[in-house]
Amino acid sequence: MTYWLLANSKAGDGQRGRGFWLEHLATAGIAAPECRDIDDDQWPAEVRAGDVVMMAGGDGSANFGARVCLERHAVLAVLPSGTANDFARNVGLPEDPDELCRLISCGASRRLDIASFGDRVFLNVAHVGLGTLPARESGGIAKKVLGRFTYVAELVRRLNARRGFRAEIRCGKGYVRGRWLSIAVANGAYFGGGHEIPGAAPDDGNLEVVAVRPRPLAQLLLTFVMVRLNREAPTRTSTLVHLKGKQCSVHTRKPKTVTADGDIAGKTPLDVSCQYQSLQVIAP
């Protein structure tokens, strides 16, 4: 078995790069992993079944590692170094780097769902609408200073300027249509820098759709506060719709940008299916 280490130097504030993780991995007994550059398109062919692919970066880097592991039947280990790190929350990875590296060293793993659409996959979430803006427009100094709060700041800045878009949503036995501000198709409980879907899990074989209607800012904020306080995702309100199922689709009147795990992934229509526990991941 080989340990592979790939670090995204552009992730997060740049403080958790290759050198940072090499030090902590060595302390945990993984002294000389095979280090490669993410931009190197040759290394995936060298990965063998059962190898551990360690991705240091954000959710986009974790997505890339997942695709390699699915193809090569390897084990994914995520070293959270990005802005949002929603995948780390979804699987309960330790925040302490030494504890996480010990977890990798002892080989503790579980199998997680993967969401697939076309020839792509996502671990956390695909967005249509307002939720795509952070991936498309935020970054630079603001992203490094504000961290994951950049996502919230970008959304708040744009809320009053958006009338929404028309779309039909199908998920499981549920169907809704209308005008929407944002549609998120999630593969776990956390997305968008820490927003939580109570009761969701990354290994239950289901996708979660959270769709938000255009409403005044005060009403939107009140809805999200109530969801957090009640610890329960409402099935349907005048502001928010929550659907659940193994397959989901979002069809819009005009093509809309789709982002997956924080990266631009194409245009609507978006047709997603859940691949039950198809990925082996280092996790508690």
Q: Where are the domains of the chain?
A: 3-107, 121-277
Give the separation between CA 76 and CA 67, rounded to whole angstroms.
10
The per-residue pLDDT for 140 is: 42
Contacts of 142 (CB under 8 A, 6+ apart): 150, 153
What is the pLDDT, as a whole number, of residue 221?
73
Q: What is the pLDDT, as a whole number, of residue 224?
A: 67
Q: Is 189 helix (H, G, I), strand (E, B) or coil?
A: coil
CA dist., res. 19 & res. 218, Å (int): 45
Question: Cα separation of 191 and 114, whole Å?
Answer: 15
- Report the amino acid identity of residue 61: S
Residues of the chain predicted below pLDDT 50: 138-153, 160-161
Displacement of CA 234 from its chain's centroid (Å): 22
Structure tokens at 148: 């994951």
The C-alpha atoms of residue 74 and residue 88 are separated, in whole angstroms, by 19
Q: Provide CATH code, domain 121-277.
A: 2.60.200.40
Q: What angle do CA 67, 184, 248 make, to 5 degrees?
A: 75
pLDDT computed for residue 225 by the predictor: 65
The class that CATH gives domain 3-107 is alpha beta
Give me the pLDDT at residue 94, please. Answer: 96
Locate tokens 């109530």: which residue? 226
Instruction: Give the strands of the sheet with 182-186, arranged side by side.
Output: 240-245, 207-212, 182-186, 125-129, 257-260, 263-267
First to last CA, the chain: 20
| Ramachandran category for residue 244: left, alpha or beta (phi over 0 → left; psi -120 to 50 → alpha) | beta
In which region does residue 140 sit, left (phi positive, over 0), alpha (psi from -120 to 50) or beta (all else)? left
Task: Identify the CA nearest to 55 among candidates 148, 145, 111, 123.
Answer: 123
